Structures are given as C-alpha cells and as structure tokens.
Amino acid sequence: MASYVSPAIRDKFETLSVELKNCILERNVRLNNMYDLIHVLEDIVAEGEAD
C-alpha cells in the first residue's frame, strides 16, 4: 500500500520538512484529515523517545 495524503490537508503536509514527510510516507499511511496526520506524528515522537 502506498501512502495517501488527502488534498484537504496537503497544504499542511507540505509545510513539514522533507525528512519528516519522507518518514511519514515510508510508513504507508492514509492521511485523510489532520487527526490522521497528528496520530502519525505522535507515533514518530513516541518512537524517538523510546530510542
């Protein structure tokens, strides 16, 4: 499954750094709304804190 970013939040997604966008897209996620994006960002932060 390829990652999907809804046009409704694409402008917000594009404000992120290239590295962060790549990290999100590598997870094969479906971002339909801001809640989906926030959830993925929280997961990334939690993983970073666990290291």
Q: 2-43: per-residue pLDDT in tens? A: 999 999 999 999 999 999 999 999 999 999 999 999 999 999
How much is the pLDDT for 51? Answer: 80
Q: Tell me which DSSP letter residue 25 carries.
A: H
Q: What are phi and psi of 31, to 5 degrees?
A: -105, 100
Q: Which of 33, 29, 32, 10 is nearest to 43 (CA)?
A: 29
How much is the pLDDT for 1? Answer: 75
The alpha carbon torsion through 17, 23, 42, 37 (nearest 10 deg) reads 70
pTM of the model: 0.88
